């Protein structure tokens, strides 16, 4: 199987995020579902952590002074796929490397569309209720979040019956491609029914989501 990691970061905040912690495990096999070689490292971001981020992950600026600089981080050169929950955020934090991304958030929304929440904590309560509360005590530590993401991914693979990482990637690409208009005056409308002039105008916008652009035929 192509080298695949289940990946998570903690960062300075939502706006222009800089890495402060990275963690992953290698996905060795989908069936049986097996992970190995855990990695976790903290980094000095060179900028203050926002209060909102601090309240989420509880990693304090003064704990990072002696850590390597965030700019020194890079993924192993042989990684072919990165799996994460809302993976594009973590991808942005590490500088948007040219790598295939698999999003467990999009896949979970596809597999369990009727749940009222699809964040990792909610999914763990849905899937593994008996142990969820104890496992979530350290949620938002990057390596803990990787473990939770791994558990969710295992259930997703069982539900979808995928046997290869290429199949999982294909399922993720489908799940990430919208079928309805996600915003604006036509929000909720099937993309096939959105007026052609509106689609044409939307495709001229520079910041449009690439999956929406693809769905619109751009």
Counts of helices then strands in the chain (DSSP H, E)? 9, 5
State the pLDDT at residue 41: 97
Copy the structure tokens of residue 8.
Answer: 């998570």
Read off the pLDDT of residues 12-25 as tens digits, 9 standing for 90 and up: 999 999 999 999 99
The count of other CB atoms within 10 Å of the CB of residue 187 is 9
**Cβ neighbours of residue 111 under 8 Å, at least 6 residues apart?**
155, 156, 159, 160
Mean pLDDT by runs of 10 across the 218 residues of the chain is 94 96 97 96 98 94 97 96 97 96 96 96 96 85 94 97 96 91 84 86 84 79
Written as one string, the DSSP assignment of 127-182 is H-HHHHHHHGGGBTBHHHHHHHHHHHHHHHHHHHT--SHHHHHHHHHHHHS-SB--
- Domain spans of the chain? 4-176, 179-218
CATH-assigned architecture of domain 4-176: 2-Layer Sandwich (3.30)
């Amino acid at each position: 199987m192509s080298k695949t990691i289940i990946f998570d970061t903690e960062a300075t905040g939502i706006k222009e995020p800089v890495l402060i912690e990275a963690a992953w495990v290698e996905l060795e096999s989908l069936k049986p579902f097996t992970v190995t070689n855990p990695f976790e490292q903290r980094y000095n971001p060179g900028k203050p952590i926002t209060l909102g981020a601090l309240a989420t992950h509880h990693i304090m600026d003064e704990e990072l002074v002696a850590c390597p600089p965030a700019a020194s981080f890079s993924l192993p050169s042989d990684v072919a796929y990165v799996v994460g929950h809302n993976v594009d955020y973590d991808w942005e934090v590490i500088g948007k490397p040219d790598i295939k991304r698999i999003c467990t958030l999009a896949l979970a929304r596809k597999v369990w569309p009727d749940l009222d929440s699809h964040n990792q904590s909610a999914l763990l309560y849905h899937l593994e209720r008996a142990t969820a509360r104890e496992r979530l005590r350290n949620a938002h530590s990057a390596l803990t979040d990787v473990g939770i993401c791994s558990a969710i991914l295992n259930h997703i693979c069982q539900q979808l019956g995928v046997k290869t990482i290429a199949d999982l990637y294909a399922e993720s690409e489908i799940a990430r491609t919208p079928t309805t208009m996600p915003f604006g005056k036509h929000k909720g409308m099937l993309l096939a029914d959105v007026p052609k002039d509106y689609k044409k105008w939307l495709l001229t916008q520079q910041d449009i989501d690439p999956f929406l652009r693809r769905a619109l035929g751009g």
